[in-house]
Structure 1
Amino acid sequence: MTDSTPSLDLLLAGYVLNTLSQEEAALLEQYLAADPTLQERIDQLQATLEAAYATPEVKPPPQLRMAILAATEALPSQQTEALPSQQTEALPSQQTEALPSQQEAEPASWARRLPAWQLAFGLAAAIAIAWLGIDNYRLRLAKETAPTEIATETPASESLDYALQPVEADLTAAAQIELNPAELEGELTVAGLPPLPPEQVYVLWTILAPDAPFTADSKGAILTETFNTNAQGNVTESLVLPEAYQTLAQVAAIGITVESADAPQAHQGSPILLTDL
């Protein structure tokens, strides 16, 4: 009898479920003595059983429920066919004496002593354990891959750089803006932009997309920062960004205009530096 026979499988399952008789336990000890690797199978069965009890109740899918019901309906007829009692009674006494002992012929008699409903429950539990193991593996895999997926879907959490280009060809200035949408912070660096007189200021505008749900001026823009340059035409300004930057699709462009220092929010000037997002 090899370790792949149903009798040995039933003995191992009976050991884990603590349903073996003394004779069956002794027979299993013989198997273990001949093949110590069977202990690994016992450990695996025990771990599977413990995992099943530790797993929260999960409603099985329809296909699993159908498999359990089908297995339950099939068990009573299989059990009846496997019983040898009626055939044994019909044999002459001489032939009956020649039959193997109960221990040798029925090493898994505990299974035959159990009612059909208990066998059905055991089979259903085995199927459920296998399904729950697969389901838990999928949950663990989803949990392990979730951070990577989130990072891929939300690039706005990274710092982004944009170069503002002159609108007129005769302007040689350059401007660079670094955005951190997650923190709503940024930095503006300007070079070669002539300083303005005291009555004027440069204004950095956030130009919204047409359907963006934020309050803007008549030109669809939000005043983001006012600044002036030094004698060399350079400046670096820290920025506090509007909430629209948390979803970059809501921002269409960024521009710089020249406005009145007394009312920069009037937004009378046209862009001199501009970039689309």
Structure 2
Amino acid sequence: MQSNRPRNWFKVNWLLYNYKLNYRPSKNLTHSLNLFALDAERSALGYRSNRVGQADPMFERDLIHGDFNNFGFEYKILSKKKMFKLRNAGLLGIKFYESNNKNEQGPGSDGIDANFNFQYEDFPNYTNQSSYNYPNMNFSFFGENVFYIDEKTSITPGFRFEYIDTRSNGSYSKMLFDGANNLIFDTLIYNQDRNTRNFTIFGLGISHKKSKKIELYGNISQNYRSVTFADMSIVNPAFIISPDLEDEKGATHQTLE
């Protein structure tokens, strides 16, 4: 794939695997298993220092290559039952996810073709050089239950426990040049970080059927957004990773008719 700049190219190979299995031993009990995996790579090649309207000096291009490998599974069990002669349904499940992603940045060629090979020997003094591994693991346990107050009204509480282990380890180059653009300092700086945490979030939904065509429902739930690999990577010695780095937390509520 080529961008609107003639020397910028993009390549992606994306293989996503998924297998689902449902087993229903009785009309009131259902088991569900979902297996998934990703084997992918992505490369971005181009000269991005100048704006599109500026002339391209035909310097070496920047090359960023990423490898993405992950796998996981999710298992759920759904049980339907009656309580006080009213229908109820409960769900419990677990999810496991593990990944080992890699990202490398360095000099590409100074040509115009789609050459996605790093050119370290030709451009050893290229300043944007880094290589990182991102191991990650996530385990969760969740559940919800639909309680029918009467034939028209139901309440659905739910919860989700999360354990997340996010890591990054790698290195980046620090180079200094004199006024004549001669290299006077060159070193490789190693960086390693790990962020483990666990928490539980909750939610609640309410539904009321006024008629066959009208249903009122509302819900409120806690949510979060995990820190990303970019949040835990340093490519400039002027930056540091905050020891107080946390996932984003919030809540949503919705009422519809």
Give the TM-score of the pair, scaled to structure 1. 0.21
Judging by fraction of residues, say which structure has more strand.
2
Q: Which has the larger radius of gyration?
A: 1
Higher relative contact order (CA 8 A, sep 6+): 1
